[in-house]
Amino acid sequence: MTETAALSVDRVTKTFGRTLALRDVSLEVPRGCVFGLIGPNGSGKTTLIRIALDLLRPTSGSVSLLGLDSRRDGVAARRSTGYLPGNLVLPPRLTGRDYLADISRVRRVNPSDDADHLAERLDANLDRPIGHLSLGNRRKIGLIAALVHSPQLVFLDEPTGGMDPLVQQTFRGLVRESARNGATVFLSSHVLDEVQHVSDRIAVVQHGAIVATGSVNDLTNRLTRTFTVTFPDVVRLSDFGTIPDVVDVTPGDNLREVVFSVRGNAGELFARLTDFRPVDVRGAEPDLEDAFLDLYRTTK
pLDDT at residue 145 tops 90: yes
Domain of 248, in residue numbers: 220-299
Band of residue 3 on the pLDDT scale cut at 50, 70, 90: low
Band of residue 39 on the pLDDT scale cut at 50, 70, 90: confident
Q: How many CB atoms lie within 10 A of CB 169?
A: 12
Q: How many CB atoms lie within 10 A of CB 218?
A: 13
Among candidate residues 148, 187, 145, the one with its CA nearest the CA of residue 168: 187
Domain contains 2: no
Band of residue 288 on the pLDDT scale cut at 50, 70, 90: low
Same domain? For 124 and 56 the reply is yes
Q: What angle do CA 163, 37, 115 make, to 5 degrees?
A: 45
The Cα-based distances of 257 to 32, 44, 229, 247 in angstroms read: 46, 46, 6, 17
pLDDT at 216: 78
Same domain? For 80 and 55 the reply is yes
Same domain? For 81 and 181 the reply is yes
pLDDT at residue 257 tops 90: yes
Most confident of 74-78, 182-186, 284-288: 182-186
pLDDT at 88: 93
Mean pLDDT over all residues of the chain? 88
Q: Which residues of 77-105 are buried (b: 16+ CB within 10 A; e: fewer)?
A: bbebbbbbbbebebeeebbbbebbeebbe
pLDDT at residue 208 tops 90: yes
pLDDT at 250: 94
pLDDT at 107: 79
Q: Helices 135-147 and 114-122 meet at what angle, rounded to 10?
A: 150
Beta strand segments in 127-238, E: 153-157, 184-189, 201-206, 209-214, 224-230
The CATH number for 284's domain is 3.30.70
Same domain? For 278 and 295 the reply is yes
Residue type, 164: D
pLDDT at residue 144 tops 70: yes
The 3-state DSSP composition of the chain as helix, strand, coil percent (nearest 5) reads 35, 30, 35
- Does pTM top 0.85 for this prediction? no
Q: Does residue 269 sit in helix, strand or coil?
A: helix
Residue type, 148: V
pLDDT at residue 33 tops 50: yes
195-216 mean pLDDT: 88
186-193 mean pLDDT: 84
- Indicate the number of domains in the chain: 2
Same domain? For 31 and 174 the reply is yes
Same domain? For 115 and 180 the reply is yes
Domain contains 1: no
Same domain? For 241 and 196 the reply is no
Task: Give the pLDDT confidence of 50-70 residue by residue, as tens digits.
Answer: 999 999 999 999 999 999 988
Q: Which of 4-8, 149-153, 222-226, 277-281 has the lowest mean pLDDT?
A: 222-226
17-41 mean pLDDT: 93
The Cα-based distances of 219 to 73, 174, 226, 295 in angstroms read: 35, 25, 16, 9
